[in-house]
Structure 1
Amino acid sequence: MADTTVKIDDQTRDRFQALAADAGMSMRAYLAELAVEKENQKKLGRATESFRAAVARPGFAEAFERDFGGGPVPSTRPASRAA
C-alpha cells in the first residue's frame, strides 16, 4: 500500500501522536485502527436504526415470542394486584 501525506495543523498532529503513544501504537497504525472503528460505528448506527424500526412494527414482539419462545411478552400496562 502506498503512503500519502495529509496536511493537518500542528496541534491536531500532536493530539494524534499523543493518542497513538498512549495506545502504544505508531500514528499510522492508530489512524488505521481509528478508521476501522469509525466505519464500525457507522454500521452499528445503521443496524440500530433498522432494529428500532423492526421492533416498532405492530405485532413484532408477539411474533418473536411465538417463533422463538422465552416466556410471555411483558405487558406495557401495570400489573393488577389481587387482594
Structure 2
Amino acid sequence: MADTTVKIDDTTRDRLKALADDAGMSMKDYLAKVAAEKEQERLQGSATAAFRRAISAPGIMDRFDADFGGLPPVSKRETPRAA
C-alpha cells in the first residue's frame, strides 16, 4: 500500500506523535490502529442500534423469557450493565 501525506497543524501532529510514542508505535501504525478502533466503534454502534430495535418489538422479551427462562437475577454486589 502506498503512503500519502496528510496536512495537519503542528499542535495536532505533536499530540498524535506523543500518543504514538506512549503506545510504543510509529505514528503511521498508531493512526492505522486508531482508524481501526474508530471503525469498530461505528460498527458496534450500528449493531447496538439494531439489537435495541429488535428487542423493542412487541412480545420479543416475553418470548425470550418463555424460551430461555428470563435473565438471571442480579446479586446485590453486581451492577447491571447493558450488553
* TM-score tier after normalising by the smaller chain length: 0.7 to 0.9
- Asked which structure has the greater RCO (Cα within 8 Å, sep 6+), the reply is 1
CA RMSD after TM alignment: 1.6
CA distance in 1, matches of 2:31, 2:43: 18
Q: CA deviation at 1:66?
A: 3.0
Q: CA deviation at 1:62?
A: 1.5
Aligned length: 72
The residue number in structure 1 matching 2:27 is: 27
Q: Is 1:48 the counterpart of 2:48 in the alignment?
A: yes
The residue number in structure 2 matching 1:60 is: 60
Q: CA deviation at 1:73?
A: 6.7
Q: Deviations over 1:24-49 (max 9, x none)?
A: 11100000000000000000000011
- Kept in 2: contact 1:62–1:73 (CA 8 A): no
The residue number in structure 2 matching 1:6 is: 6
Identity across matched positions, percent? 58
In terms of Rg, which structure is larger? 1
- Kept in 1: contact 2:64–2:70 (CA 8 A): no
TM-score normalised by the chain length of structure 1: 0.79
CA distance in 2, matches of 1:2, 1:73: 51
TM-score normalised by the chain length of structure 2: 0.79
Structure 1 residue runs of 5 or longer lacking an equivalent are 75-83
SS of 2:24's equivalent in the other structure is: coil
- Kept in 1: contact 2:55–2:61 (CA 8 A): yes
SS of 2:2's equivalent in the other structure is: coil
